[in-house]
Amino acid sequence: MHLSSAGLDKIEPRGFPNIEAKCFASNRQVHAKILQDNLTNPCVRLSATDAAFLYSETASGPMHISSVFVVAGELTYERFFQHFAQRMHLLPTYKRKIAMVPVG
């Protein structure tokens, strides 16, 4: 049977348009709108390590990690910002947002 003869070519992909979800940041709930289409912006489950860091974080015990650069010579903020801005497209993970899934 062909998909169009069964009417299956008219089925739209399931996404979560305009669903209000609760996102977690520093152990506080923040409301966020999820406007996504599963074909263009799929949900990706956190790894066990990432989930452990997220759920372990509190206001008094932050679990995020940072780095300090010590450079010789002059490095302006503009050059530093431009260096990372030119490479952000190589790291799509940093553009994702944490959201609780509907129906837990």
Q: Kindly report, residue by residue over 27-82, the tens digit of the pLDDT.
A: 344 334 444 444 455 677 888 888 888 888 888 888 777 888 787 888 888 888 88
Give the range of the structural domain holding residue 78, as residue numbers without chain letter: 16-95
Q: Domain for residue 5, yes or no? A: no
Q: Domain for residue 104, yes or no? A: no
3 φψ region: left (φ > 0), alpha (ψ -120 to 50), beta (else): alpha
pTM here is 0.39
In this prediction, residue 32 carries a pLDDT of: 40
Q: Domain for residue 8, yes or no? A: no
Count: domains in the chain: 1
Q: How far apart are CA 13 and CA 38, in angstroms?
A: 7
Q: Domain for residue 10, yes or no? A: no
Q: How far apart are CA 78 and CA 23, in angstroms?
A: 32
Q: Domain for residue 36, yes or no? A: yes
Identify the three-state secondary structure at position 52: helix
